[in-house]
Amino acid sequence: MKARLFLLFMAMASIAMVGCKPISGILEVNEPVTVKITELVQDDDPFCRINPEEECTWREVKKNLKLNVGKMKAKLDTKSKTKIDLILDDLKGDPIVQFKVPSGFKVPERRGEFKLTSQQIGQPFDLHGLVDTEVTESKRFDEWERCTYQEQRTVCSYVPPRCRTTRRGETVCSGGGQQCHIETVTVWGNRRVEFYYRQTDTDVIFSLMQPSQSDIAAQFTGRQSYSDKIYIYQGICR
């Protein structure tokens, strides 16, 4: 039977998949599969090997990698508009499985399905994906919370007089005393608020398979959650 790869990725996010933070998860390989990877390699410079934190030149190296049966940590990075990266965290060098993104293609932000061929993504398998988002809201809360506001206050300070000595040896002073000015200051206060929490869960499924094949060879699952505080009413801070 021909090698087949089916990769399932599930994640949760409150923002669009394209441009969000990398989503962590577990890649479970059910049968040995080969993928094309990209690694970052430093120049073969003894100084760089001794001082890896220095500004040494890095270059990309592309090669094939055989994934054996088992589980490993991985991340999905979709911030680029030209490619999608699957970073294999548990392997030495954090190799990256890159999927090219054709011009005009966009991963669904909230809900949708897509299919890309092996020629489009530059891998020896097709890519099928599904995005589904669920939004839930908590009960409403009516509370007091700390806040800050600005107000103008009169600030005064003592300024010493300016003195000088005349030719006769006398000391003559002028000015000085208390001087005041208006200053804007930040003050802590309280305000009444009404709000609720909005939980956004986005499930993303990436399926990688040989053309005309659908048997599962590997599965990647991950989850990411985002919660936003939504204000309905904000009273005056005082």
Cβ proximity of 65 and 95 under 8 Å: yes
Give the N- to C-terminal CA distance of the chain in Å, as an integer.
73
- Mean pLDDT of all residues in 206-212: 77
- Mean pLDDT of all residues in 95-115: 86
Cβ proximity of 86 and 76 under 8 Å: yes
Q: So what's the pLDDT on residue 11? A: 36
Residue-wise pLDDT for 189-199, tens only, equals: 999 999 999 99
Q: So what's the pLDDT on residue 16? A: 43
- Per the prediction, the chain carries an average pLDDT of 81
Taking the C-alpha atoms of residue 215 and residue 206, their distance in angstroms, rounded to an integer, is 14
Taking the C-alpha atoms of residue 30 and residue 10, their distance in angstroms, rounded to an integer, is 17
- In the predicted structure, residue 20 carries a pLDDT above the cut 80: no
Q: So what's the pLDDT on residue 42? A: 65
Per-residue pLDDT band for 17 (boundaries 50, 70, 90) equals very low
More confident of the two residues 191 and 103: 191
- Sequence ranges of the domains in the chain: 23-40+60-139+197-234, 150-193
Torsion of CA 135, 140, 146, 147, to 10 degrees: 70
